[in-house]
Structure 1
């Protein structure tokens, strides 16, 4: 059994609960093991007690270039010495914007923001303004931020508010449908003339790394065109991760609007809304999208540096190879220990759980999986120096190499052995 001393983390945790609710500044971290980190380097994290962890959570996804990439941090530091926010424009906005549009390939305009949560709201506002309609379609299990009209939970097939204090009627503008069910979407759009937008994670990375069936996204695009509905891709996770042009490039489907974040800026807090000029230019008159820190100097420097790095030395083949080997290795280790470990998704973002080995195509299918057991196993993985999320998502970065692959599989096998021996 691996035993890692975390005395310093425990001290910091006890101090934190007197400072901030639950000792964390994001509720996503409430279920975590209470580890406090001192630094990250490449594909590794180092905690306050000196323990190392090979990292497959990557800060919930943003660190696609690895932790503390010098090319990004140096650019941000240099730019910040000239200022941060001016309450006006600066030349680096143009550089970042042009590079973004050229990299994404399909979009004609971009607006930079700070978080995916707020940029998702901007996308819906544009869709409503453009169509004169009030409602939108989304898919069960997708995540589009924590605001009242977006944060949901599904219990026994019934979707509702996920938080105390959340206004339930804010969900009244939403039609919730199963993902990968084109018949359900077709029927809804045929029956309802009040749908402004369909918003989707092209790959449901927040819930099981559920991929679209062959042709599904193309059919969604066709239905939106037929009914005059704005198609929004939430590419906060998939953007610049699945390909330089994100899911739109990988699956060959062009949305009307796309929301981006995470991998776009090498670990810095930046989001973006991109889309067709006819929609985006509505921000120039009549539709409001504001924010003091939108397109700040450090943000634009981070975007420029990160995208330049992704273009000059594309990591996508390396990431795909590493992820494919890791997925296969995890499956083999599960089989060798007689444990029903299942792996689903794409090599750069996949989901690990226990249970039914069949492919999961929608959120209801996730109910077949033993995610509670996996969450317990994730704690054992952390004890063995593998930093992963209890919910099962694994992210691969450009910084992961053969060394990390060897280490993670050794540690995964040791953790699985301890887990089985412990009878859990």
Structure 2
């Protein structure tokens, strides 16, 4: 690949961009995409994407995580195609939904029952409703920097004064029941329980923070959290929308050895198809079954969803990808760090091989150990967001917020291409920075 071939122009179909801007607010269908390059993709296969101009990318965004098996997995797509030929939505039960949930429960191991839905956001609402119904309480402990969906009752910005609405039009009082504490801080967690005895219905958390950084739990933190919830009659909810089936076949609960009362799954659950699930203890989930707690949805457990879940569970059980994901992600982390050192760039890489975070340290800062939202903010996140666009021009597709996801489809060819392209991108970024720094000096010399 020549240097000219290595650089891709911003997505090429100006006509598509104009058409999108005319009919889609911001030109996109999700606000998460507002900050991304306006790239229009034509297809994805395995760990790679192709845009409408024919430019090819190694993909570490993976559709924000769902494409854990890679794009267009043939076994999953064949199963969905066969199933949907017999119908899509019946407004009643079908055998495939039972099969899918049986396989889901067998995979995660600890839960008694589960239900399928469409999105992680709605599954979060179901879990919080169950916890409040079961306990007769209202308050919920959450953790700074974590994300549990975009609805009014969970979307929040995190500052020193506590949670505040994350969007215009969001009533502040909808967040009044939340108690926000730093992730990985057991002492702060204990203080919350002491200050609100008998009031806390649930604790909800990403057991590994992925939506904001890739921050693993410190030793003993999840264990202490489990103890506190048990002692206080509080429902422990793991939001495993990202970590489920990615960190292990049994998700974060298996990886870290701590069992919640309820858990929410999505993304890697169904090979890229839009499916979510809520799983947990029988005495909690059965409240849906009695009708005491409402959980509804026309598209819950659609034929497509059930087929995708069932087939994905088969693929993950028959050919577990976890060793290869660990190997690829570990080698990639090491390679990126080495390139940072080689170019004298203060790159900061942390997390686990299946999901890690890349950013820059600020001038003069030592290697940063990221343990919570506050230490994540000490990094130069804006610089990395800009750099992600440079990576896209060099054929690496990543999230601007710094998270990199590795898939079962990534292999040696992707590792080699990624490190070569990252090398070119970081050199180009350094050159651009040098030119930008030189320009004011040149203007001063001419004045």
TMscore range, shorter length: over 0.9
For residues 346 and 272 of structure 2, what CA distance do their matches in structure 1 show? 34
Q: Residue 388 of structure 2 aligns with which residue?
A: 378
Name the SS of the counterpart of 1:154 in structure 2. strand
Q: Is the 8 A contact 2:9 2:393 kept in 1?
A: no
Q: Residue 137 of structure 1 aligns with which residue?
A: 141
What is the total number of aligned residue pairs between the two structures? 424
Name the SS of the counterpart of 1:88 in structure 2. coil
Q: Residue 50 of structure 1 aligns with which residue?
A: 54
Aligned-residue offset at 1:358: 2.1
Q: Residue 406 of structure 2 aligns with which residue?
A: 396
Q: Residue 146 of structure 1 aligns with which residue?
A: 150
TM-score using structure 1 length? 0.99
Q: Is the 8 A contact 1:5 1:49 kept in 2?
A: no
For residues 400 and 3 of structure 1, what CA distance do their matches in structure 2 show? 22
For residues 377 and 212 of structure 2, what CA distance do their matches in structure 1 show? 11
Q: For residues 31-69 of structure 1, give each alpha carbon's deviation from its aligned partner in whole angstroms, at most 9, with x where no partner exists.
A: 111000000000000000000000000000000000000
Name the SS of the counterpart of 2:116 in structure 1. strand
For residues 153 and 402 of structure 1, what CA distance do their matches in structure 2 show? 39
For residues 9 and 169 of structure 1, what CA distance do their matches in structure 2 show? 44
Moved more, 74-83 or 154-163: 154-163
Return the match for 1:417 from 427, 430, 441. Answer: 427
Q: Residue 262 of structure 2 aligns with which residue?
A: 257
Aligned-residue offset at 1:156: 4.7
Q: For residues 143-185 of structure 1, give each alpha carbon's deviation from its aligned partner in whole angstroms, at most 9, with x where no partner exists.
A: 0000011111124554311111111110001001111111111
For residues 164 and 310 of structure 2, what CA distance do their matches in structure 1 show? 40
Q: Does 1:292 align with 2:335?
A: no
Q: Does 1:350 align with 2:360?
A: no
Aligned-residue offset at 1:7: 6.0
For residues 331 and 280 of structure 1, what CA distance do their matches in structure 2 show? 45
For residues 317 and 345 of structure 2, what CA distance do their matches in structure 1 show? 41
Q: Residue 317 of structure 2 aligns with which residue?
A: 311
* Structure 1: gaps (5+ residues): none
Q: For residues 306-336 of structure 1, give each alpha carbon's deviation from its aligned partner in whole angstroms, at most 9, with x where no partner exists.
A: 1100000000000000000000000000000
For residues 293 and 173 of structure 2, what CA distance do their matches in structure 1 show? 24
Q: Is the 8 A contact 1:238 1:246 kept in 2?
A: yes
Q: Residue 212 of structure 2 aligns with which residue?
A: 207
Name the SS of the counterpart of 2:176 in structure 1. helix
Q: Does 1:93 align with 2:97?
A: yes
Q: Is the 8 A contact 1:264 1:306 kept in 2?
A: yes
For residues 389 and 156 of structure 1, what CA distance do their matches in structure 2 show? 26
Alignment of 1:43-192 (within 5 A): 43-156=47-160, 158-192=162-196
Q: Residue 219 of structure 1 aligns with which residue?
A: 224
For residues 44 and 85 of structure 1, what CA distance do their matches in structure 2 show? 32
Q: Is the 8 A contact 1:6 1:49 kept in 2?
A: no
For residues 344 and 307 of structure 1, what CA distance do their matches in structure 2 show? 29
Aligned-residue offset at 1:3: 3.7
- RMSD after superposition: 1.0
Q: Is the 8 A contact 2:148 2:154 kept in 1?
A: yes
Structure 1 runs (4+) deviating above 6 angstroms are: none
Name the SS of the counterpart of 2:23 in structure 1. coil
For residues 28 and 7 of structure 1, what CA distance do their matches in structure 2 show? 18
Q: Does 1:230 align with 2:252?
A: no
Q: Residue 279 of structure 2 aligns with which residue?
A: 274
Alignment of 1:317-332 (within 5 A): 317-332=323-338
Q: For residues 83-112 of structure 1, give each alpha carbon's deviation from its aligned partner in whole angstroms, at most 9, with x where no partner exists.
A: 011000000011101000000100000000
For residues 10 and 196 of structure 1, what CA distance do their matches in structure 2 show? 51
Q: Is the 8 A contact 1:108 1:274 kept in 2?
A: yes
Q: Residue 377 of structure 2 aligns with which residue?
A: 367
Name the SS of the counterpart of 1:102 in structure 2. helix
TM-score using structure 2 length? 0.93
Aligned-residue offset at 1:353: 0.4
Aligned-residue offset at 1:5: 3.7
Q: Residue 441 of structure 2 aligns with which residue?
A: none
* Structure 2: gaps (5+ residues): 437-447
For residues 44 and 135 of structure 1, what CA distance do their matches in structure 2 show? 44
